[in-house]
Structure 1
Amino acid sequence: MPKMCFNALPAPDPQLPRLHLHGPTMGTRWSVTLDADLSGPQQAALRHDLAAAVAQVDAQMSPFRADSDLLRCNRAPVGQWLELPTEFLHVLDCALEVARLSNGAFDPGVGDLVHAWGFGSATAPDAQAIAHTRQQPRPPTWDVLQRQGGQLRKLAPLTLDLCGIAKGFAVDRMSAQLRQHGIGHALVALDGELYALGHQASGHPWPVAVESPEPQRRAVHGVVELQDMAIATSGDYRHYFALGDTRIAHSMDGRQQAPVRNGVASVSVLAPNCMWADAWATALLVLGDTAGLALAQRLGLQALWLLRRGSGWVELGLGRWAS
């Protein structure tokens, strides 16, 4: 997921100073810009709770931590019931809903493809592993998983990967922590996922810059103003490797059992929560501009596609970006 830069205007009210909190997580960094008058101990408590919120998501859903609930689920034999955390099951439920609505364009069951193509624990494509994944039957992920209360079991071999939705959920968890601390004006960010909590103390919405999909540099393509709204972007220009003259991006199309190659440079989605925006940004990237636009129109999604055309880009937008 590409990073999205943001640049908030300074708050003019001296009674509500602008604070910046941040820390490492999930191979990147979380950050919160907020307008609030907090004492030193209050800031320390808030920073602790924000860090704990993202750490919990990482502990449950990381594909790189041997003790994560995700890998515990992946290691479990077919048919074995597992007791799993409420948060994990909540995210999985959302992932499966988007998977069904997108007819598998978003698929939390492509962990084997992610690893085979060198975007997981492996650092390079493995031709033998790629061939093996293509030989395996791939029923819809939602048909392979069975839920019973707080328990889950696989009905067939399956490797889960929640990277296309977990960071969005982590942003939502941080936003919830801010509300619990009585914060009403904040911009929460984790990689390419953001949530605007309320507006700035000045009364203006939070301006968020959509990144231009250029692999070698960071530049602003446009700015959108947000209030009580999430935005997430998925693209092919940050996490990829070159195979000859071809750029192989990290987003997987489980239907084709291969990385996405459809001319879409990036998709940004606006939604009431960041988990939903995160998953749909990936789904619409995989679907491409024609099928993605049709589905987004049917579901009433707000989305912006940047399509590669020659040496430049063409915009295609819905909702806020329809003009």
Structure 2
Amino acid sequence: MKTCSEPASALRRYSLNGATMGGRYSAVFYAPDGIDAPAIGASLFAAVDRVDRQMSTWNPASDLCRLNAAPEHAWLAVPAELAEVLDTGVRIGLQSMGAFDIGVGALVARWGFGPAQQRDTLPASPHCPAGASLDIDRAGGRVRKRAPVALDLSGIAKGYGVDRLADCLDGWGVTRYLVGIDGEMRARGCKSNGEAWAVALEKPVYGVREVAGVIELQDAAIATSGDYPRWVDIAGTRYAHTMHPTLQQPVSNRLAAVTVLASTCMLADAWATALLVLGERDGLALARERGMNALFVLRDGDRLQEILVLGGALSEPN
């Protein structure tokens, strides 16, 4: 069992949670007795609510929806956080050979995973990658579309929200915490008894919540992308919610799930999606090439096969 610094028995355990982004956020942390827990709870909610209000595709008033509705070639002022996530999404898209693409909004809607939740049977229009469709001026706080692209940040926004939870607790001087939104988690330090944080890995089984194993997390973030949490059934065939940008359809390969460890949850979230799209061959090759830490779970008939890639460094290679 991993341990970190000396135990701090004088610290009290706090647990706060709430609804956000169609799921729930949570924060478990150790701090001195008497800390203003209600104020921390309010600031945690404000942190994730700000991300949701900026990046939701389900809220027509969100900054992302405003950008999607904006005319082409017109600069639109956007919050700094949204510009950061867009910029990171485009960069990871390039680094993943287009496997991660925040420009899949039209595909998501067409396959029934968008706000309408109804599959569009119309023929698909040509897919326009976000990297070729956006100008992002982070210094000026503005974004311009060069082509008719529909942006969707579901593969990166929750991870970014987890990072904002972490920043919130950092701002309160908390140095021992585990924060998360659904299955995306980030840890700092350890528990008050010196043990590392334990995070359960879900078994990738359709319609069943079952623990496959536990990983000890310390000063790192973790995210999982899989074919099992959300899908649609069309004529007896199950289609996962993750889109393959090039094929313009849901991902269909032997990978059941990919879990990634990184320095931030935004990176872990996006790269888990990218590796799932790339599949067992190209995904494994890219993870090894980039020195990533990832767990691939493959479906082999009724069996599950695990392949672990350990690159050592948690920070993203340039």
User: How many angstroms apart in 2 are the aligned matches of 1:38 and 1:25?
Assistant: 27
Q: Match for 2:293 among 296, 302, 320?
A: 302
In the alignment, which residue of structure 2 is the partner of 1:26? Answer: 21
User: How many angstroms apart in 2 are the aligned matches of 1:216 and 1:166?
Assistant: 24
TM-score (norm 1): 0.91
User: How many angstroms apart in 2 are the aligned matches of 1:175 and 1:224?
Assistant: 19
Task: Give unmatched runs, 5+ long, in structure 1.
Answer: 1-11
User: How many angstroms apart in 1 are the aligned matches of 2:70 and 2:285?
Assistant: 38
Residue 13 of structure 1 and its aligned partner are, at CA, apart by: 5.7
Q: Map 1:127-166; keep pairs closer than 5 Å.
A: 127-128=121-122, 131=123, 134-136=124-126, 138-148=127-137, 149-166=140-157
Which letter does structure 2 place at the counterpart of 1:35? Y
Residue 316 of structure 1 and its aligned partner are, at CA, apart by: 1.1
Determine what percentage of the aligned residue pairs are the same residue. Answer: 46
The reply on whether 1:57 has 2:56 as its aligned counterpart is no
Q: Map 1:31-50; keep pairs closer than 5 Å.
A: 31-39=26-34, 42-50=36-44
Residue 221 of structure 1 and its aligned partner are, at CA, apart by: 1.0
In the alignment, which residue of structure 2 is the partner of 1:6? Answer: none
In the alignment, which residue of structure 1 is the partner of 2:184? Answer: 193
In the alignment, which residue of structure 1 is the partner of 2:267? Answer: 276
Which letter does structure 1 place at the counterpart of 2:70? A
1:60–1:145 Cα change, 3 Å? same
Aligned residues: 305
Residue 139 of structure 1 and its aligned partner are, at CA, apart by: 4.0
Instruction: Report runs of 4+ in structure 1 exceeding 4 Å deviation.
Output: none
Q: Map 1:59-138; keep pairs closer than 5 Å.
A: 59-128=53-122, 131=123, 134-136=124-126, 138=127
Q: Is the 8 A contact 1:192 1:234 kept in 2?
A: no
TM-score (norm 2): 0.93
1:196–1:320 Cα change, 3 Å? farther
Q: Is the 8 A contact 2:255 2:280 kept in 1?
A: yes
Q: Match for 2:310 among 296, 314, 319?
A: 319
Provide the aligned C-alpha RMSD in A: 1.6
User: How many angstroms apart in 2 are the aligned matches of 1:54 and 1:39?
Assistant: 24
1:83–1:155 Cα change, 3 Å? same
Superposed CA offset, 1:112-138 (max 9, x none)? 00011100012221111xx1xx332x3
User: How many angstroms apart in 2 are the aligned matches of 1:14 and 1:225?
Assistant: 20
User: How many angstroms apart in 1 are the aligned matches of 2:33 and 2:226?
Assistant: 37
User: How many angstroms apart in 2 are the aligned matches of 1:172 and 1:97?
Assistant: 18
Superposed CA offset, 1:138-194 (max 9, x none)? 343212111233111111100000010000000000100101101111110101200
Which letter does structure 2 place at the counterpart of 1:47? G
Q: Map 1:8-19; keep pairs closer than 5 Å.
A: 14-19=9-14
Residue 15 of structure 1 and its aligned partner are, at CA, apart by: 2.0
In the alignment, which residue of structure 2 is the partner of 1:9? Answer: none
Q: Which has the larger helix fraction?
A: 1
Q: Match for 2:238 among 231, 241, 247?
A: 247
Q: Map 1:218-297; keep pairs closer than 5 Å.
A: 218-297=209-288
Residue 211 of structure 1 and its aligned partner are, at CA, apart by: 0.6
Q: Is the 8 A contact 1:116 1:122 kept in 2?
A: no
3-state SS of the aligned residue for 1:17?
Answer: strand
Residue 16 of structure 1 and its aligned partner are, at CA, apart by: 1.5
User: How many angstroms apart in 2 are the aligned matches of 1:170 and 1:158?
Assistant: 24
3-state SS of the aligned residue for 1:233?
Answer: strand
